[in-house]
Amino acid sequence: GAGVSQSPSNKVTEKGKDVELRCDPISGHTALYWYRQSLGQGLEFLIYFQGNSAPDKSGLPSDRFSAERTGGSVSTLTIQRTQQEDSAVYLCASSSGGSGTFGAGSRLTVL
């Protein structure tokens, strides 16, 4: 596609459940980022993939969070045993260098 696609756009889940969020980057972009944006807040870095290099996981808030990128393209962010404080918009961006192009985000609500 022409842009970064994220799914689902909205997800409501119960505390303790696992969720998976998907990001389809722009074709050919070798860099992929995940950010978290809580209500009215800035963008919190989570994880960064660049080509075949080991990902920079320094922003993942706990071991309940993980992400993978298969075949250098699609990425999945997994949150295990969700907590209410995980409620936020999860944004994905891809890049061919420099700035990223963002998707519209996945809004996660943990009840």
Residue among 29 and 80 whose Cβ is closer to another protein: 29
What b/e sequence results for 37-65 when a residue is b if at least 16 CB atoms lie within 10 Å of its CB, and e otherwise?
eeeeeeeeebbbbeeeeebeeeebeeeeb
Query: Min. distance of Cβ 99 from another protein in angstroms?
Result: 4
Rounded Cα–Cα distance for residues 43 and 105 (Å): 12
CA dihedral 46, 43, 106, 66 (to 10 degrees): 10
> By C-beta, is 43 or 74 nearer to another protein?
43
User: Which CB sits closer to another protein, 70 or 99?
Assistant: 99
Give whichever of 14 and 56 is closer to another protein, judged by the CB atom.
56
Which residues make up the interface to another protein (CB under 8 A)? 4, 30-31, 33, 35, 41-43, 45, 48, 50, 56, 58, 91, 93, 95, 97-105
Residue 20 C-beta: closest distance to another protein, Å: 19
Phi/psi zone of residue 30: left (φ > 0), alpha (ψ -120 to 50 degrees), beta? alpha
What's the min distance (Å) between Cβ of 81 and another protein? 27
